[in-house]
């Protein structure tokens, strides 16, 4: 376990990627479907004292990782509550989201803030999940 820097050893990166079956653990896109790549994400960022070990890391596509940044939560403006993001290590994806075609529909507050900040349903993201898209 390490808290220093964000350097993740290759062996640990490979372990996280294999555990995720090379799919983003946030939006579930297969690494081969995205035009970019997947990377290992600190679920709780290093600047917030997140640990660099398998239990605190997720495999994330480029878009999810960039949209999330080092954030851990957002505001649900309908309730004015601070709500944490979906955590792939402790949450069950299907309890917070469902798929309707290629759209990800939130079913909880956690799903709602995660969908909004991670921009799951932006046109570019939808086109990645649509095998017939030419965008």
Query: SS3 for 68?
Result: helix
In a domain, 99, yes or no: yes
Which pLDDT score, from 0 to 100, does residue 76 have? 96
In a domain, 1, yes or no: no
In a domain, 4, yes or no: no
Question: Which residues of the chain register pLDDT less than 70?
Answer: 1-6, 131, 133-135
The residues pairing with 104 across neighbouring beta strands, listed in sequence order, are 99
Handedness of CA 115, 78, 87, 13 (dihedral sign): positive
In a domain, 95, yes or no: yes
Phi and psi, residue 98, nearest 5°: -145, 155
In a domain, 19, yes or no: yes
Q: Tokens for 132?
A: 């017939």
- In degrees, to the nearest 5, what angle opens at C-alpha 106 toward C-alphas 61 and 96? 80
pTM listed for this prediction: 0.89
Which pLDDT score, from 0 to 100, does residue 25 have? 97
* Residue range of the domain that includes 93: 10-129
In the chain, how many domains are there? 1
Which pLDDT score, from 0 to 100, does residue 37 have? 84
In a domain, 134, yes or no: no
Which pLDDT score, from 0 to 100, does residue 33 have? 86
In a domain, 68, yes or no: yes
In a domain, 3, yes or no: no
């Amino acid at each position: 376990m390490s808290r220093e820097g964000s350097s993740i050893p290759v062996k640990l990166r490979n372990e996280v990627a294999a555990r995720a079956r090379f799919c983003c653990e946030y939006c579930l896109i297969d690494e081969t479907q995205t035009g970019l790549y997947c990377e290992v994400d600190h679920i709780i960022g290093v600047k917030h004292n997140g640990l660099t070990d398998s239990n605190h890391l997720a495999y994330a596509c480029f878009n999810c990782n960039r949209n999330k940044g080092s954030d851990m939560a957002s505001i649900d403006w309908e309730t004015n509550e601070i709500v944490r993001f979906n955590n792939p290590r402790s949450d069950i994806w299907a309890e917070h989201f469902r798929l309707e075609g290629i759209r990800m529909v939130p079913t909880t507050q956690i799903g709602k803030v995660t969908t909004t900040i991670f921009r799951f349903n932006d046109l570019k993201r939808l086109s990645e999940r649509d095998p017939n898209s030419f965008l």
